[in-house]
Amino acid sequence: MPLLEVRGLASGYGEVQVLWDVSLDLERGKLTALIGSNGVGKTTLLRTIVGLMKPWRGTVRFDGRDITREPAHAKAARGLALVPEGRQLFTAMTVFENLEMGACTPRARPHMARNLARVYELFPRLKERADQKAGTLSGGEQQMAALARGLMAEPEILMFDELSLGLSPVLVLNLFDVLKRLRAEGLTMLLVEQNVHLALAVSDYAYVMADGRIVLQGPSREVARDPHVRRAYLGI
């Protein structure tokens, strides 16, 4: 059984429908990529899954349980965590305080010390900047802090919305190395990413979205060989 099952999901803003009968699975311990052009509904899908938007139709099942209508805080308490686009840190708070906020759920609080040591080991720069205001960090450091805050939540599933956006190639490669390490440790992840080359290279399975629908899916290596994907996203 997949750890997360999305079936026939429809959602949107006001009267504007964005998602049209979207279905996908996240297999336990696997890294799944969701790729597609800007504006096709990828962020809307993430926000609907984690409860920041209400679905119009469809179901979301987590570990066999229907969580479709649960509010965002209840889904977070179950172990669904999102690293949002734009980082959305508490800029007036220190790096440590932002990480502490990531561990605010009853699920995560008992493991705060262990997870803090873990994220400092993954991101030594954050340990150096622990007492620095998050708003004064560089863009790359802020993205590290956002990812680390997600890990502080003791997630069962960690979702990323445009992890590499606006970062230098060196920082992007460093962050993707962290993803590969987390995958090797068995963390279930969903990656929404504009860097299609890297997303398909590090993931196990991939979905391609267009106009609010899933139009292609399969093992990432097979998706990378698809002629449409190669033309539209890989420039080949």
Mind listing the pLDDT tens digit for each residue in 194-235? Answer: 889 999 999 999 999 999 999 999 999 999 999 988 888 876
The pLDDT, as a whole number, for residue 2 is 96
Strands 16-26 and 157-161: unpaired
Determine the Cα–Cα distance for residues 82 and 147; give it in Å rounded to an integer: 9
**pLDDT at 236 > cutoff 80:** no
Residue 36: DSSP 8-state: -
Domain coordinates in residue numbering, the chain: 1-79+156-236, 89-154
Burial profile 195-217: b = 16 or more Cβ within 10 angstroms, e = fewer? bbebbbebbebbbbbeebebebb
Average pLDDT over residues 34-56: 95
Distance between CA 200 and CA 35 in Å, rounded?
A: 9
Q: Is 160 helix (H, G, I), strand (E, B) or coil?
A: strand
Position 123 pLDDT exceeds 70? yes
Check whether domain 1-79+156-236 has CATH 3.40.50.300, yes or no: yes
Full-model pTM: 0.93
Residue 147: pLDDT band (50, 70, 90) is very high
- Spatial distance between the Cα atoms of 2 and 25, rounded to a whole number of angstroms: 6
